[in-house]
A and B are shown apart, each in its own frame.
Chain A
């Protein structure tokens, strides 16, 4: 049923593709987590920051969201590599070959962070002021208010945006193939070029990405149901 060329083992590229898919998921998940961290910082800078941090956050989100991802990936990839080597040079260590996977994670994380910032900003803004004031009236501090009120209340608002970004980051990992890597698309491209079976390999990879998306969609649905419980249903 499955063509031999896609089987696992010496003769097929099944295990290579499987490892590629694992790398894709690793890059996507790590970049997503970094994106969430940057997003929370960015959103608080935009909402509660002073003039300087507000300005910096605005510049960051505007630039990252209007420059094509491929261009950003190239810029950050080289900037990141050189930055790390400059730092190493300062402490008088030789330049190192920066791990491609790590660079990809950081780059995609920085790109995701801009979108996460906007998602969290909108979600936090939708929290009724009265609830935050009530927290203040109870004598809670900033972090405590976030942990007990703003965080839990904004989460259902943020979930649709967050799930969208998860689907986007999976698809964005494919762009890392432009700088060469071990993720799914690069693996596919080299396997296809090696065997000249272009159609077969690219269709297989498209199906793998589709499967990842559909499985994610299923879990997103469950998650949304859980966080929307207790809220009035729309329409």
Chain B
């Protein structure tokens, strides 16, 4: 075991760790913003809208994330690059980066998976509670904000924790589109030092640590919620 590279690459690893956390948090936040409507319209929306949401979930859950990422990065990226209007626009510095496509594809992907979770969550809220809220004269929007959504999220919190861990384990794919997250840094270390295992073990340890952190954080949130179980 040769760990002499570690002190030299430590600052880079910390930056990679920070980038991984960014990828995870951004994708999860945007993904949830997508998942809530996707789940909701499948439970209560008009037929055509719920059909679209269902199709969306099927496509996202039926194709590998790496294909989605490469489709966006190489496919959409090359389409963007073909238009001079886009290349000269102010958004080009963002649209050029692998980081953008990584966040986009992770968001769309986790939106599909979490959308399915949220559908189950919305269904799991007892009808009586929604009827009670309506009987208080709440508008549909208020019912959603005060009763339906909080109760749904509460019910699926453990499943969402699992989904977050799965998303964390998908973030290293960003390294394939030039993002220097933990895995990207590790791949660079391997290239520079010709070491086979040591960098990979370091990556494994970091990801296991992050997994435990996520599990702990969600457990902490769950304990805040009073329940009579």
Check if A189 is an interface residue, CB within 8 A of chain B: yes
Question: What residue in chain B is nearest A72 (Cβ atoms)?
Answer: B204
**Which of B26-34, B74-82, B141-149 contacts the other chain?**
B74-82
Tell me whether A189 and B211 are in contact in the complex, defined as CB-CB below 8 angstroms, given that A70-B172, A203-B75, A214-B62 are known contacts.
no
Sorted from nearest, which 5 A-B pairs have the closest CB atoms? A174-B64, A213-B62, A202-B71, A199-B75, A198-B74
Check if A66 is an interface residue, CB within 8 A of chain B: yes
Tell me whether A71 and B59 are in contact in the complex, defined as CB-CB below 8 angstroms, given that A63-B208, A66-B207, A206-B71 are known contacts.
no
Check if B183 is an interface residue, CB within 8 A of chain A: yes
Tell me whether A171 and B74 are in contact in the complex, defined as CB-CB below 8 angstroms, given that A78-B196, A210-B59 are known contacts.
no
Point out the residues of chain B lying under 8 angstroms from A213, CB to CB.
Answer: 61-63
Question: Contact: A79 with B70, CB < 8 Å?
Answer: no
Point out the residues of chain A lying under 8 angstroms from B196, CB to CB.
Answer: 78, 82
Check if B200 is an interface residue, CB within 8 A of chain A: yes
Q: CB within 8 A of A192: which of B65, B74, B212?
A: B74
Question: What residue in chain B is nearest A75 (Cβ atoms)?
Answer: B200
Which of A68, A72, A171, A175 gathers the greatest number of chain B CB atoms within 10 Å?
Answer: A68
Size category, A interface: 35 or more
Tell me whether A171 and B64 are in contact in the complex, defined as CB-CB below 8 angstroms, given that A192-B74, A206-B71 are known contacts.
yes
A-B pairs with beta carbons under 8 Å apart, 27 shown: A63-B204, A63-B208, A66-B207, A67-B204, A67-B208, A71-B172, A71-B186, A71-B207, A78-B200, A167-B61, A170-B64, A173-B64, A174-B64, A175-B173, A189-B70, A196-B78, A198-B71, A198-B75, A198-B78, A199-B71, A199-B75, A199-B78, A199-B79, A201-B75, A209-B64, A209-B67, A210-B59
Question: Contact: A209 with B63, CB < 8 Å?
Answer: yes
Provide the bound-state CA to CA distance between A100 and B68, in Å: 24
Question: Contact: A171 with B207, CB < 8 Å?
Answer: no
Check if A34 is an interface residue, CB within 8 A of chain B: no
Q: Is the interface of B mostly helix, strand, loop or mixed?
A: helix
Which of A70, A170, A185, A188 gathers the greatest number of chain B CB atoms within 10 Å?
Answer: A70
Question: Contact: A202 with B75, CB < 8 Å?
Answer: yes
Min CB gap B66→A, angstroms: 5
Provide the bound-state CA to CA distance between A210 and B60, in Å: 9
Provide the bound-state CA to CA distance between A196 and B79, in Å: 11
Task: With A82-B196, A202-B75, A213-B62 given, name 11 new contacts (CB 8 A).
Answer: A66-B165, A67-B208, A68-B207, A70-B183, A71-B204, A167-B61, A170-B64, A189-B74, A198-B77, A210-B59, A210-B62
Tell me whether A185 and B64 are in contact in the complex, defined as CB-CB below 8 angstroms, given that A71-B203, A74-B200, A75-B204 are known contacts.
yes
Point out the residues of chain A lying under 8 angstroms from B78, CB to CB.
Answer: 196, 198-199
Check if A132 is an interface residue, CB within 8 A of chain B: no
Point out the residues of chain A lying under 8 angstroms from B203, CB to CB.
Answer: 68, 71
Check if B134 is an interface residue, CB within 8 A of chain A: no
Check if B10 is an interface residue, CB within 8 A of chain A: no
Point out the residues of chain B lying under 8 angstroms from A67, CB to CB.
Answer: 169, 204, 207-208
Tell me whether A210 and B208 are in contact in the complex, defined as CB-CB below 8 angstroms, given that A199-B71, A199-B78 are known contacts.
no
Provide the bound-state CA to CA distance between A189 and B66, in Å: 11
Min CB gap B163→A, angstroms: 14
Check if B197 is an interface residue, CB within 8 A of chain A: yes
Question: What residue in chain A is nearest B196 (Cβ atoms)?
Answer: A78
Point out the residues of chain B lying under 8 angstroms from A205, CB to CB.
Answer: 67
Interface residues of B in 193-229 (CB under 8 A from A): 196-197, 200-201, 203-204, 207-208, 211-212
Check if B155 is an interface residue, CB within 8 A of chain A: no
Question: Contact: A177 with B66, CB < 8 Å?
Answer: yes
Point out the residues of chain B lying under 8 angstroms from A70, CB to CB.
Answer: 172-173, 183
Check if B139 is an interface residue, CB within 8 A of chain A: no
Q: CB within 8 A of A202: which of B67, B168, B169, B204?
A: B67
Check if A96 is an interface residue, CB within 8 A of chain B: no
Min CB gap B206→A, angstroms: 9
Check if A178 is an interface residue, CB within 8 A of chain B: yes
Interface residues of B in 167-183 (CB under 8 A from A): 168-173, 176, 183
Provide the bound-state CA to CA distance between A68 and B186, in Å: 13
Point out the residues of chain A lying under 8 angstroms from B204, CB to CB.
Answer: 63, 67, 71-72, 75
Point out the residues of chain A lying under 8 angstroms from B62, CB to CB.
Answer: 167, 209-210, 213-214
